[in-house]
Every structure is written in structure tokens, then in C-alpha cells.
Chains A and B, each alone.
Chain A
Amino acid sequence: MGSASTISRQPEVDNTMSDPTSRPPLVLGQHDFATVTETVARIPERPGTTLAWKLSFAVAASLATMFVVLTGYLFVTGIGIWGNNSPVFWGFPIVNFVFWVGIGHAGTLISAILFLFRQHWRTSINRFAEAMTVFAVVCAGIFPAIHVGRVWYVYWLLPYPNPMGMWPNFRSPLLWDVFAVGTYMTVSVLFWYLGMIPDLATLRDRATRPLPRLLYGLFSLGWSGSARHWHRFEKAYLFLAALATPLVLSVHSVVSFDFAVSLIPGWHTTIFPPYFVAGAIFSGFAMVVTLMVPAREFFGLKDLVTLRHLDNMNKFILATSFMVGYAYLIEVFMAWYSGNKYELFTFINRALGPYAWAYWTMVICNVAIPQLFWFKKCRTTPWIMWIIAIFVNIGMWFERFVIIVTSLSRDFLPGSWALYKPTLIDFLMLIGSFGIFFTLFLLFCRYLPMVAMAEVKTVLPQAQVHHRHAAEEHAPSELEYAR
């Protein structure tokens, strides 16, 4: 069992060339079933933790704690501690909410949509991405809950029989949000957990100490790899994937309804649903890259998470960046084409008004910088793609800021215009939410199988039923999960 340090010095192998005659390997190195398990399972089994992990966890956890404390302060004082005012009644909290929900999407996309499209390269990264989804949705869920004025009544959003005989208003996009995000959270967790059961069983069987054995045992539900179980497991997994795919599209559409259904210039737009979904996938992939690049470095997963994986993701980022850029253009065009002076003003105001800096930050980060991915060098050099991904994350946060703040600060009546100035607490809580995210993420890396071992094994050559003459078979594992 080699230490992390030795592994982390493994060389980058470029497996991104596409040779039509042979399907390039998805897993590098001479891996068989045992070594795959070894590579992945070694990480949670390692007795101590590395200093790097300890440090980063300390930082993340303290930020998360700060968030909790600030939330307490918020509850006793009132949301006036934020910069929200009239007319900008929504500020950072909702910006962060949309941002985090967006981040979540890549996970589901990678695990569900790519699954349906039989993109086997997903197997190495889907676990990772799904985990990110769950944690991002956790962060996302917090903000709408605490941003309400009387947080102690937030449960009134749920339709439950009550002595008042009152029911929520099902016409409100906010209520759709509650259902959409709630469902999304649940399904993501189920999908993530179901896929993890066999791997937990692996860890259980390898565990030497009683406590890990007990815990992994509990959560692996006594999985035994029985063929009859696999049969149902695959069906369930297929269904979850099939359900999650439209769900992921619906969730951000619903989030976009929060704006599209209103009548505020700059919000009241039919383009929002696809625009938001594209943006979500965009930001989500960027976040996966942001996390994956260091993770595969530290935890020695380069054989499983190969450059090819990263390359594919960067191509996604490039593609979605175009969609987003297109949306920006069309918005402006429609504003002009509609002949609605309020609409047009909103976009002129975005580009040239007091928040122009935010608008151009958004454009540069989301449209200009990702163009670097035209160059293969950028797509295949971890540190470059990491920096670009960071820019994309920043840009996508600003996209939400621009949409919410510029539209509200100057809507119809000039008499009610006012600028929005976030307070220190606004910023601290934004940072704090990242603390929560990374705390959960670090725990995941430390204690759970970061790569779906069972799934990776299926794409190993040895896994093919007649792998000795695999050459004859075209796309041997094509129908892997077909039924």
C-alpha cells in the first residue's frame, strides 16, 4: 500500500488522441480488478490523514462555522444586516442560491445524461460529480431558507393541513422552487447512494478495523454482488438516470421561472429556461474541473481520471460557453427587437450603467476566457484548465448578480431607483457557503470511494466476456446496461 506522495508523482499520460481504428483505453496503466479496487479503496482506508487535508479541512470547517454563527446573528437581528434595500429586495442570498444550484447540475448531467448516452468515460468521474451535486444543492438549499424575513415560518411553504386552513399559493414560482429543489436534492442523494452501495460493500469487505467495518457494513446494506441483485440494481439505476435527466433540466428551468414569470425588465424573458440550464451545466463542469484537477493529483487517481476525461469536460465547457454567449446576445437583440423601451434600457444600463463592471466581468469570464479551450494545450494542461475553470466560476456568479441586481435597481419608475450595496456580512456568508461546500467535499474525499469502482471495472478490457478476442467486438460493452 504505497503512500499518497509516491502516487502523486505519477506522470501525465496523454490518451486524448483519437485513433479511429481502436477505441483508446479509458483506464491507463496495467490495471486489473484488484488494482482498481486497491487504487480507490486505499484512500479511505489510509489510517491517518495528510497534512494538506488537515489544513484545508481546518480552513473549510472554520468558514462553515462562521456561516452558522452569522446565520444565528441573522435570525436574531433581521435580514437588514444584508445590503438588500428597496427596490433591490433580493441581493446576495438569491444570487448565491442560483449560483449553487447551477453548480449542482454538472454532477447529475455527467452521471445521468452521459449514462443514458453510454459515455463510458463518465465512470471515473461520475461519483465525484454526483457528490459535488449533493453538496452544492445543500449550499443552494440553505439560502432561500434563511433569506426570508420570518425564517421561523419557512415551513409555511409546504402544503400541509393546518388549523388556519391555509394552503400555499401554487401559482408562485418560489413554491415551484421548493418542490423542484427538494426533489432534485432527494433524487441526487438516492442516485449517488445507490451507485455507491457496491463500493461501500467493497470497503466493508476490505475493512480491518471494527468501526469502519460496522459503518460501511450498515450503509452497504449487506450487498453481496448477487447476480439477481445486480439485475434489479441495474434497472433501478437506469430509472434513476432516466428520471434525473429531465429533472436536472427542469430544476434550473424552474429556478429561471423565478425571474421569467415576473414582469421586471430583464427578467421577463422566455429565453431564460434554456439559458439558465446551459449556464448551469457550464458552471457545473467548471466546478468539477476545479475540484477534480487537484483531487486526482493528491489522491493519485490519474490512471482512472485521465487527461481524456478532463479534455472531454473542457470541450463541454467550451460548448456551453457558446450557448451562454449566444443567450447574452439574443437577450440584447430581443430587447432591441421588442421595441419595449424599459427592456432596452435595462440592457443598455447593464452594459453602460453603474453595474457595467459586473456585466463585463461576466462577459469576459464566461465568453472570452473559455475560448482558450480551442487550444488542445489548454484543454490538456491541468493548471491552465484549472485557472480557466476558476474564471468561469467567477463569471457565472456575476451572471446571476447582473441578472438580479441590475434589473431590480432600475426598473420602471425612476423615482424608486436605488443602487444596491452589499454589506460585509453579505460577503462573509458567500465565503461561508464555500466553507460548507468544501467541508462536505473534503469529508467525502476522505471517507468515501471517490471513484465508482464497480463501474470502472466494467470498462476494463478484462471485464469483457470474451476479452481475449476483444478486437473482433465493436464497442464490446455497448449494451452494458441495456436492460
Chain B
Amino acid sequence: MSRQGEPIADYNPRYWRTLDELANTPEFREWIAKEFPHGVDLEGLSRRRWLQLMAASFTLAGFAGCRWEKTEIVPFVHRPTGRIPGKPERFATAMDLSGEVTGLVATCVDGRPIKLEGNPVHPSSLGGTDAFAQAAVLQLYDPDRSRDVIARSDGQWVVRSWEDFTAALRERVAATSSGEGWVFVTGATSSPTVRRLRKLLEQRWPKAQWFTYEPLHDDFVRRGTREAFGVEARPVYRLNQAKVILALDADLFFESTGHVRAARDFAATRDGNPDRMSRLYAVETRWTLSGSSADHRLPLSPGEISAFVDALENCLATLAAGESLPDIGSSPDQSPEARYRAVFLKAVAEDLWQYRGRSVVAAGNWLGPEVHAAVARINKRLESLGGPVVYLPVSDPMTARTAESLHALHELLVSGSVQNILFADTNPVYSAPLAMKLNQLIERIPFSAHLGLYADETALSCRWHIPMAHFLEAWGDAETWDGTYTVVQPMIAPLWGGKSVIELLSLFLDANKNAQDWVYETFQARYPHSQAADWERCLAQGLFREENRQLNSLTELANTAKREIPGDAVERFVAGEKSTGNSVSVLLTADYSVYDGRFANNAWLQEWPDPVTRLTWGNAAVIGVETARGLDCKDGSVIRLEVSSATLDLPVVVVPGIPPRTVVVSLGYGRSAAGHVGGLVRENIPPVGVNTYALRSDASQFVFSGVKVTKLPRNQPLASVQDHHLIDRVGLQGRVERLGELVREVTLERLTDPHEPYSAEEVVHHPPLESLWPEHTYDGHRWGMAVDLSKCIGCGACVVACQAENNIPVVGPAQVMRSREMHWIRIDRYFTGTPENPRTVHQPVMCQQCEMAPCEQVCPVAATVHSHEGLNDMVYNRCIGTRYCANNCPYKVRRFNYFYYHKDLDNPRNEVQKMVYNPEVTIRSRGVMEKCTYCVQRIQNAKIEAKNQRRPLIDGEIQTACQQVCPAQAIVFGDLADPSSAVAQLHQSNRAYGMLAELNVKPRTKYLARVRNPHPALQAIEYREPAATHEHGA
């Protein structure tokens, strides 16, 4: 009956040959007969077998053929208290991404979490989230998640049970009293309980070895701070206090600690209010979100950045001494580049100094320790410590994102003294330098177990693999950088009986306690005076509020922090580094879609375009225009990178603003055991993208200089959602001409000019917009939206949020290449300025809900019509798919189902994926047009709710998915009929304008012009009329 002990060839989920064969198996008939008490695991019957049986029954039911299916309903026998079937419930929880915590609120329908939102009362998010949190639900229901405890015996994987594992473990544990020969490897976590368990275990087993490993580490930061303060620390920025920000290749809104909150704080200073308005300088090699939202961006190759920092430190020293800076930017024999650098440096230094105490200098993780030390000193000199910049000591080793441990681990493994090794929620075999040959070392170890969501690379080299409980399945806790205690509530019982890290570790201590007990204990230990009510409040709110808790920020430098800076640093920086032949320097970065590779099997994220390259489904070598010219490359041509340790072939993406002789590649792709989405070599599913970890070595982790690069004589098509082709000169010309009108920008100076009030509407001159007929009046609600381009940082979380909310299908790379992606909201990215040093703008475009919608009149069957609240409704069931509406949409926001994009659900294996869909939203079939609806289902729910409570709708009560997720609060939705509503106010703003309003389509969505706050000196040089030759120029 049970399939335990039955070998399964290299761990493929297997299915019956024919449905009848299965339907006639005894257990199937038995099941038909038998009624199980719910929740009980089926005695002896592996869950996967269950899957098969159920899938069979399901499909057989569907075997009615070409007739209406007889659908069955299964209500609760005893309805859980307070549960109204179909009515969404919300629970507070949190996501811990390698120590970075985001407080969340999960929306569950009938006990199934289907959507995550930021926890509005949680300081880490204040209601916003990043894309990873949005995509977490898809990961929860990923069919590729491992479903059984499996073990490898003589090369074959066999399904075992959790009991088998615990039994085996108990033997091993009994063998030692001191933890001799035991090694634990985990990812970085902020969970107080996990840390407590580790301490307990260390007390019992002093000899056991612990390693925390994160491929995207911040070792250099901590080394730098050790140098500066004498203790390892982690910088956190409170940007709402900042007036001048200098980001040294620091991705403030993606990588740095508290990035979601950072976006919120930064956006708060960008609304054109001269008192608040901040100025952001970015000095960077790659394109970061900070770079694309910066007022000034200086592209520098990795080497030059430290030179810049030295120069800056000198300048500040001069200013601190009360002298003014020498006039370095004006000698006639300087090259334009050099002059620009000089002026830039001067401007930055003076700005920072002028606003000292309100200025922030941040540096990217990959920069060397000396840079971080210097940055710490600069922040100190700028009197920002404890103010906008906070350095928090890293107390607990588990919270540190480190990769140094890997070195030690490797040596230990080589020494052969390791008898037992346990990997929890980490995948070093994939990301470790190849030279280490970790997989072989691990395979030698007598007892090795891996706990993870997937049977990934590491799991396959272990002897045991235990499916891990997703964070939405298990009790846990977390702690934000500012020490806010956050509780992680499970939303649903583990789908595949997975175990959390806490549960695994508790095996070594007290197997009788379950995770909830451990977490509660931790809570009590942490807050001895707390009552039971406090715990309940903590669960209800998702965090524990502590009054007047102080941040113990480091403020004093250690006296070791002195460092000699060459006096000619400024000159050296301005001169720039000499060209070094055909070799380039390569920079490896975290990936916006898959982070360090852990999200490689998440289709939503894979298809989610990179904010700047707009690339989906894979990574590419991002190079600047000059480099491209030098190599004679264009988008899609393949280049070969050669370092001592490895060679890589990568397709090229040409992006302006990447410094010369530099290649930027993101990590996290080329997974060989991610799953059916990200790549599964054992099932001949090729990996998505290229594994760039291969470049890594003990010596260098992120930056590789002197890399030999050659162009290969082949091309590889790229799945990009914008610029599907190299834009020709005509296209560029046309783009330049209209850009100023589509994406309106204004400098702070102009905006606040008292003599000539600014009005974004007037940027485009057009005759008065009048109709030939009496226009329709809307006497009820008039829904409208406002998008503040000044706040939008282009992070793209809204795209994934919309996908999760509206059951938007994933189409895959081939379709993306055909430009058939289905995202209802897209973020258009445009470059302006020169190809060498361009500026970017991000413009979210969703259905503008035109009052005179051009799409409507051309539909022959009236499948898209206006509601009485002014929504442009799309009637899926009426649509016959002439696609005329999409043709006639000036914004091209309509999406067409060229195929049936949910075919994969026919495979019983993917049944679980159905749980992710929002029951409120129709899943569109082939041949039907679809588009943004302003989340009409949310509007209706809110209206019903208000009606039941006999009250009018409150402004802000209805939030669209994109609005709710936006960490920068750039999107506002509401009722235009209510003049006091936030959206109505924004529509009145002098920055508000309707895109293409001159077509008299009367869009209900208005954009707020982007405010730039340039430094006068730099503005003089930079803000020339953008040349036609920008972008993939000439």
C-alpha cells in the first residue's frame, strides 16, 4: 500500500500509466469507500500517493467528456467559529529573507493564503512590500516543492517518513555527548527562537560547529565597520531625515537593510516640498534603483569608486578645516569627462557638508572594507551618526550575512573530521566556488541531511532531504534591524508535512515541544512581564510594541580608524583610471528577480522584468554603449568572459550609463535543480540563465578585474519586455521628441518659482477639448487614480502584486520574445541625456480608464463598456477576441490571451497551484482580451462591506493591489466625486497631468510630474536638451 521503501529513479514525482489502472487500485476504491477525519495524515499512505489518487478521482470526474461537469460541494460539517465561507480573513505574519524582515498581513480565503500585503502597523514596511514578498504565495503553492522525506541509499532516492528520519537522527545523536563531529549550516536569520535554540544546543554540544552562509554577504561592510568602530556593525539609513544622500553603488531600495521602509522614507522627501525635498547623488557601476531615482548619477568602474571616496574624504577634510575647495573643475585642458567628475565631486562634497547632520553616505555591500571604513568616517564627520545614519552592532552571528564561514566550512570538510552535517534553509553547493567541490565533500560524510523547500543542489548531495515548511506554514518569529519583535504566524497547515528550522533543531533538545511552544517561550523570555493578552495582541498586530526603546547606534569611531589618504586623491580621481586594453572588470550583483537564486523556480519573479534592463527569464552581461562599440556587440550577441577559475558565455544587453570596460552580471541563475520553472537538469529542463557563481573564488566574490572578454560569433535572443529590438535612429528620434510630454519632469527650482506658477498640464498645447455630443455624467462614485512619478522608484513590486491579485498568467520566455507578456501594469523605463551618462525615468502604465475610452466604441459585440462609476469594464464572457480594442488603445495596456496560458494546470501534478488563485477574479481563457480593472473586485467588496455596516465608503478604504504594495506610496486610488479624497486632491495638483490627454479620451488616471532636484553647477552641464543619440546610441 505505502510506497515507502520503493525506489524512485533520481527522485521524479511519478504518475500512473493510465487513469483506469490507478482508479482500479485497491487504495483508490478504499478511499472512495472510506471517510477520513480531516487533517489526519493518512496512515502509511505517502502524501504524494494521495496526490495521485485525488488527481485521478478529479480527472475521472472530469471524464464526463464534452458535457457539463457535475461539480460537488463539500461544506464544513462543523463550521469553524467566526469563519464565513468565502469571506477573506487577514492574519499578521512576516517574511524573513536572510535576516531582512518584512512585516506582512496575509489575506486568506477559506483558509488558503492567496495574497500578502505589508503590515501597515509594522515599522519595517508600513504597508508596503517588495516583489519577493508578493511572490511568496506562489512559492508556497509551487508544485516543485519537495513533498516527501527522501533518503539516498546506494545511489537511489527512496521515499521515507519523518519518523524514519527522526529515528536515524536519534541514533546519531545518541552517539555523541559533546557534539563532536557535528556541523550545522544555516542561512542568516533574524529569528530570536532559532538563535535561542542554537545557544541551547551550543551549551549542550560545545564541540558542535555552526556556520551561517549567505552568498550575497555583507562581510566587507562588517569588516569596514570593525575597522572604523572596532565592532562589526550594520548601517541603516533613515532617509526621511536626510537632505543630501550619496549612494556609492548602494541599492537603498533593494539590498540595504530596511529597504522597503527606506523607499517609503525617501519617497516622502520627493513630493516637491522644498523643505523636505532631498537630493540624491548616485555614484555607481551598475544600475541600481537608487541610481535610477537619483538627481545626479556618476557611472564609475568598480576601481574608481574607492578613488572617489578618497577624494571625497579629502574634500570634506578641507571643508571641515573651514577652507573652501580649490576650483578643480575649470581648467581648460581638462577633458569634458574630467571636468564633469571634478564638478560632480565638488558639488557632492559641498552639498554634504552644507547639510551635515542631515546628509547620508551609503556604500554597496560589494565595495571593499576600506571603502566602508571611509564611509563610516565620512558619516561621522558629517555628524549624521545616530541621525539619518545608524550603525547597529551585529550582536548575533546568525543575523550576519556572511560567506567567510564558507572558507572555514570547506577546510573543516576537507579535514574529514565531520561525521554529521545538517543544512537548514541554505544551498551552498549551488553558490559556493566550484573549486571547493562541496558536493563531493558532502557526499563523503556518513550522515548528512538537508532541510529545504526544494530538493536542490545541496539536497541532492546529502543522504537525507526533509521538506521544509514554508514560512506561511509554520510558527516562527523574527526581529527587524531596530529590534522590533515580530511573530510569524502560519496561515495553513504544512501542505507536504514540511518542518521548520525550529522544529528540526528542537529534535536535538526537546522533541515534545512544538514550534509554537518554542516561539511563545522565546516571547516570554524576552518580555518576562508580559501577560497572555500581550501575546494575543502581538499575534493580532504581528509585532510587539515596546515603548521608548532606544537604538544603540554606534556614534564614536575607534581610534584605530585613522587612515592616511594620499594628498593627490582628488587629482587622481579626476584624471580617471587608465584604459587597460581588452580586459574588463566584471561585477556580480544580486538579481532583482531571483535574489541569490532561491527564487529561481518562481515563475512570477522570472517573468518580472528587471527595473532597468527590462529583461525577463535569465541574466545577461550588461555593458555600456562604449564597451558595446568596442566589442562590436548589440543586444543578444554572446560574449565570453574568462577568469582564472572559469569561463562564461553570456548574451549581451547594452544599457547606457554602464561605465566603459565594465560588465555587470547578476547572480542566481543557471540553477540545475531548481524545478520545472528555473531549470531541472535531471528532467532535461535546461536552466534559466547562466550560473555566474562559477566566476567566484575564495579570493574574489563580487568584483573581478582584468577579465578577458571576447565576442562569440553567435546570438541569443533575449526575453525583454521593452525595446524588443535594437531601436533604430528613427525610433530614437521619435522617442526623444515625445518623451518630454509623456513623462513630464520639473526641477524643484522651476516648481517653486513664485513668479511663474508651474502647471504640468500646460506642457502640451492643444485646442480646447470639446465633445460633439453632451457628455455622460456620473452621479455616483467616480473612481480615479493618481501616480506620482516623483515618488516611483521603479522597483516593480506593483507588477507582481497585480499578477497575484488578478490571476494573471505567466507566458514564458518564448511568448515574451513575441512580446505577448500579460502584465496588466507595466513600468516603462526611458533614458534621457547622453548615452554615457543618462538619466532614467520609470513610468507605471496601467489601464487609464478613459471616460471616452477609444477601446469601447470599436468593439463590435460591446464586450468592453463603461460602468456607471466610470470604470472601463472588460466583459470576458462577451469577448470574442477581435483585438480591435487593443489596437485602438493609445496606451497599449490591453493584453490578449493568444493561447490558453493555464494548460499546465491540466497536469495533476500542478493541482496545488490552483490554491494560489484569487477566487474573486475570473481566470481568462484563450481568445479573450483582458486588462487592468482598478481591482474592481476590491471595490465591490469594500462597497458591500460598507453597505452591511450602513456607512458610506471611507476614502482610502479601497486600495488597488498596486497601490497597497507600493513601498513608495506613489499610487493613490479613490473617488474623484469626493473633492476631499486624496486622489481628488492630487488631481488638482499643479504637477498633475493626463498622459495623451490631448486625444480627449479623458483618462481617469493622472500622473504627477517628476520633480528633480539638481545641483545648479551640475544642472548647467547635464540638463542639456537630450541628444537624439542617447540610449543604444549611434
Contacts and interface: CB of A to CB of B under 8 A. Distances in A.
Touching in the complex, A and B, CB below 8 A? Answer: yes
B862 A168 contact: yes
A412 B996 contact: yes
Contacts of B890: 263-264, 411-413
Contacts, number: 185
A274 interface: no
B882 interface: yes
Contact of A148 (B735, B821, B881): B881
B135 to A, nearest CB: 23
A166 to B, nearest CB: 7
A333 B615 CA distance: 39
B938 interface: no
B25 interface: no
Interface residues of A, number: 55
B899 A166 contact: no
Q: Main SS of chain B's interface residues?
A: loop
A56 to B, nearest CB: 35
Contacts of A66: none
B879 A78 contact: no
Which has the most chain B C-beta neighbours within 10 Å: A86, A261, A410, A418?
A: A86
A157 B860 CA distance: 7
Interface string A258-271: 10011110000000
Interface in A342-397: 342, 345, 348-349, 352-354
A156 interface: yes
B892 A166 contact: no
A417 B826 CA distance: 13
Interface stretch (A22-30, A100-108, A173-181, A228-236): A173-181
Given A78-B899, A262-B854, A412 B891 contact: yes
Interface stretch (B438-446, B693-701, B720-728): B720-728
Contacts of A341: 737-738
A79 B897 CA distance: 9
B739 A86 contact: no
Contacts of A342: 738
Interface in A133-169: 147-151, 153-154, 156-157, 166-169
B1002 to A, nearest CB: 13
Nearest to B722: A415
A418 B861 contact: no
B888 A86 contact: no
B731 A417 contact: yes
A461 interface: no
A348 B815 CA distance: 29
Given A79-B927, A353-B728, A149 B880 contact: yes
B859 interface: yes
B996 A262 contact: no
Interface in A173-230: 173-175, 178
Contacts of B854: 262-263
A349 B734 CA distance: 9
Nearest to B886: A89
B731 A408 contact: no
Contacts of B857: 169, 171-172, 261
Given A168-B860, A341-B738, A349 B899 contact: no
A84 to B, nearest CB: 7
B143 to A, nearest CB: 24
A263 B892 CA distance: 12
Interface string B707-738: 00000000000000011110110110111011
B605 to A, nearest CB: 21
A166 B861 contact: yes
Contact of A349 (B731, B742, B821, B829): B731
Contacts of A476: none
A421 to B, nearest CB: 8
A90 interface: yes
A48 interface: no
B879 A150 contact: yes
Nearest to B890: A412
Interface string B816-836: 001111000010111000000
A438 B287 CA distance: 58
Interface in A397-429: 408, 410-419, 421
A147 B882 CA distance: 7
Which has the most chain B C-beta neighbours within 10 Å: A154, A353, A417?
A: A417
B843 interface: yes
A87 interface: yes
Interface string B842-875: 0101000000001011111110000000000000
Contacts of A89: 883-884, 886-887, 896
Given A150-B880, A264-B888, A415-B830, A345 B734 contact: yes
Contacts of A415: 722, 826, 828-830, 843, 845
B862 A149 contact: no
A309 B819 CA distance: 50
A169 B739 contact: no
Given A78-B927, A149-B880, A341-B738, A84 B860 contact: no
Contacts of B888: 262-264
Contacts of B727: 417
B927 A148 contact: yes
A150 B928 contact: yes
B1015 interface: no
B861 A156 contact: yes
Contacts of B818: 83, 85, 421
Interface residues of B, number: 61
A148 B890 CA distance: 21
A87 B722 CA distance: 12
B513 interface: no
A416 B891 contact: yes
B437 interface: no
A262 B858 contact: yes
B878 interface: yes
A416 B821 CA distance: 11
Contacts of B878: 156, 166
B31 interface: no
Given A87-B886, A156-B861, A172-B884, A150 B734 contact: no
A77 interface: yes
Nearest to A157: B860
A79 B730 CA distance: 31
A372 B90 CA distance: 78
Which has the most chain A C-beta neighbours within 10 Å: B737, B819, B878, B928?
A: B819
A54 B593 CA distance: 61
A151 B926 CA distance: 11
Contacts of B999: 263
Contacts of B899: 77-78, 80
Nearest to A178: B860
Nearest to A155: B880
B740 to A, nearest CB: 11
Nearest to B861: A156
Contacts of A258: 884
Contact of B819 (A86, A149, A410, A413): A86
B778 interface: no
Contacts of A156: 861, 878, 880
B896 A149 contact: yes
Interface of B: 722-725, 727-728, 730-731, 733-735, 737-739, 742, 815, 818-821, 826, 828-830, 843, 845, 854, 856-862, 878-884, 886-888, 890-892, 894-900, 926-929, 996, 999, 1001
Given A169-B860, A352-B730, A416-B845, 16 more contacts: A79-B881, A85-B820, A86-B821, A86-B895, A149-B928, A150-B881, A168-B862, A258-B884, A345-B733, A410-B734, A414-B735, A414-B742, A414-B830, A415-B845, A417-B723, A418-B725
The 6 tightest CB contacts between A and B, nearest first, are: A149-B881, A149-B927, A415-B828, A80-B898, A416-B892, A89-B883
22 contacts: A78-B900, A79-B881, A80-B820, A83-B818, A89-B896, A147-B882, A148-B880, A150-B926, A172-B859, A175-B860, A261-B857, A261-B858, A262-B887, A264-B890, A353-B731, A354-B725, A410-B731, A414-B742, A414-B828, A417-B723, A418-B724, A419-B724
